[in-house]
Structures are given as C-alpha cells and as structure tokens.
C-alpha cells in the first residue's frame, strides 16, 4: 500500500474500516463555474475519476477484466454553461461520515469546481423534469423595451428552432419547452437578466444555449462584435415535475 500519512486529508480510521457487502451509493452535489464551464462531459468524467483516486476515498470498483469506478452524472451540462447544482452518484465500499467525504474531495478540487453537499440519495435522476437558469446578457441596445421584446419572443408559441442531434436535424418549438421566464432590464449595469425554467427531462431536454441562438437569429444579438456583447448562463436549480427542488 501507499506510504502512510502522505495525505493529511485521509482520516486514520479508513485503514481499519471493514469492507461492506454491497457498495453504498453516495450523491455529490457540486458547482462548476468560471473556467470549468469549458470542460466537456467526457473531460469531467476523467477529472472526477482522478479526483476520486487522489482523495483516497474507499472507491468501489467494478469486478472483472477492466475494473473501474462507477460514476453516474445527472442532467448533461453543455460547454459554456456554468452550474451551481450538478449531481454525481459514486459508490464506496466502506461506510464513513459524509462530512469526511466532502472534506476529502474538496481537498482535491478547485475554487471553480467543488462539492457543496454529500448525502445518501432518495430521488432518482430521472425525476428531474426542469432546470432553472440565470442569464446575463450584455449587448448594444439593451433596454426596458428590448427586455419586453425578448419576453414576448420566448412566451409566444410556436418559436421554431432547428435542433441538431446525433440522428440529424429536427425542428422544435422551444417556447413550449420554456416552463416560465422572467426578463428584466437592469439599468445599473446596462444588462438584461433572464430567469428561465426549461424542460430538462430525458426526452425533452432543452439546451439553455438554444435561447441565445434564438436571440442571435431573431434579434441579431451576439452575432457581431464579441468584445462589446457577451453573455453568461448559470444553472441554478434542478426541479422535479412538481417544481420542487431536486435533491
């Protein structure tokens, strides 16, 4: 085994904990902000694999030819979107205090991606029906009026857009996938803010970037000079079908 005491974050008791019969699933809630928004799903998986190994947690490995840790992520997050509510289920083969799990993982993470909560899950990822996003839009001509026009655009069905999927292109009405939306102009920093609840079920997932694409196509915002026009998107909460916060 490894030289002892080399990682101060590893609690002493880990060495004497007995292995349990079937692995326990632990849910991690984490944020993915700033530079981490550019990291793809595949890279995120790779990163978590290494974080888990570095942390020294008693990871449960699949048996067989090519043993690996079992990682299950919730709703996909596309490149360019930040998040305050990502979920990952991991499996451990020892039972240990949840606080220690959080501490050991955070020692290996950064201030742009870290664990905010660790718990034993009750709900299934498939219970997630909606995600709530916060948009900040900075563009020439941002105004009260522009905010109203944007709201009208997104609340008037149909708003047909081309969606590219693995199996080709298809047209979807994105307005019907917007559960609710608030649009406000903020005079102080000359920005338009949107708060949108979008469908996020496995069969009707709406990529929040689609709203930006709509703004580009219909209002020609964000299609010219990126040094004076920019936006950010943050996923704030995941919700179940009754609009209760998913956990």
Binding site for other proteins (CB under 8 A): 1-3, 6-7, 34-40, 42-44, 46-47, 49-54, 56, 61, 65-68, 79-80, 108-110, 112, 138, 222, 225-232
CB 148 within 8 Å of CB 183: yes
Are the C-beta atoms of residues 211 and 135 closer than 8 Å to each other?
Answer: yes
- Do 69 and 61 contact (CB within 8 A), yes or no? yes
113 conformational bin, left if phi > 0, alpha if psi -120 to 50, beta if neither: beta
Shortest spacing between CB 164 and other proteins, in angstroms: 16
**Min CB(7)–other proteins separation in Å:** 6
Q: Show the tokens assigned to 167.
A: 């199996």
Select 129 or 137, whichever has its Cβ closest to other proteins. 137
Nearer to other proteins, 13 or 230 (CB): 230
Provide the minimum distance between the beta carbon of 204 and other proteins in the complex, in angstroms, as a whole number: 24
For the CB of residue 53, give the shortest distance to other proteins in the complex, in Å: 4
State the minimum distance, in angstroms, from the CB of residue 235 to other proteins: 16
In a 10 Å sphere around its CB, with 0-12 CB exposed, 13-18 middle and 19+ buried, how is residue 236 labelled? middle
**105 vs 129, beta carbon nearer other proteins:** 105
Q: Is 40 helix (H, G, I), strand (E, B) or coil?
A: coil
Task: Write the CB contacts of 164 (distance below 8 Å, at least 6 apart in sequence).
Answer: none
Least distance (Å) from other proteins to the CB of residue 176? 26
How far CA 114 is from CA of 46, 101, 192, 200, 204, in Å, comes to: 15, 12, 29, 23, 29
Burial code (b: 16+ CB inside 10 Å, e: under 16) for 11-36 equals eeeeeeeeeeeebeebbbbbbbbeeb
**Cβ closer to other proteins: 46 or 170?**
46
CA angle 107, 108, 114 (to 5 degrees): 80
**CA 18 from centre of chain:** 34
Query: Of the two residues 36 and 129, which places its CB atom closer to other proteins in the complex?
Result: 36
Supply the minimum distance, in Å, between the C-beta of residue 77 and other proteins: 14
The smaller minimum CB distance to other proteins, of residues 36 and 210, is found at: 36
Residue number with CB closer to other proteins (19 or 225): 225
């Amino acid at each position: 085994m490894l030289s002892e005491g080399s990682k101060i974050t590893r609690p002493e008791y880990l060495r004497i904990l007995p292995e349990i019969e079937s692995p326990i699933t632990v849910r991690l809630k984490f944020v993915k902000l700033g530079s981490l928004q550019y990291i793809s799903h595949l890279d995120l998986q790779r990163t978590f694999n290494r974080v888990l190994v570095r942390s020294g947690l008693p990871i449960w490995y699949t048996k067989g030819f090519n043993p690996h840790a079992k990682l299950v992520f919730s709703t996909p997050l596309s490149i360019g979107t930040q998040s305050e509510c990502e979920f990952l289920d991991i499996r451990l083969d020892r039972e240990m205090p949840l606080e220690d799990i959080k501490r050991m993982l955070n020692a290996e993470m950064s201030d742009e991606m870290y664990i905010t909560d660790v718990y034993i899950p009750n709900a299934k990822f498939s219970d997630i029906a909606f995600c709530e996003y916060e948009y900040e839009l900075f563009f020439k001509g941002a105004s009260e009026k522009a905010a109203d026009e944007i709201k009208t655009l997104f609340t008037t069905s149909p708003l047909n857009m081309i969606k590219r999927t693995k199996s080709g292109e298809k047209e979807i009405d994105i307005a019907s996938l917007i559960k609710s939306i608030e649009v406000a102009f903020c005079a102080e920093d000359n920005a338009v803010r949107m708060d949108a609840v979008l469908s996020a079920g496995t069969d009707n997932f709406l990529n929040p970037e689609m709203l930006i694409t709509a703004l580009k196509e219909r209002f020609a915002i964000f299609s010219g000079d990126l040094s004076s026009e920019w936006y950010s998107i943050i996923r704030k909460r995941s919700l179940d079908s009754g609009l209760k916060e998913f956990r």
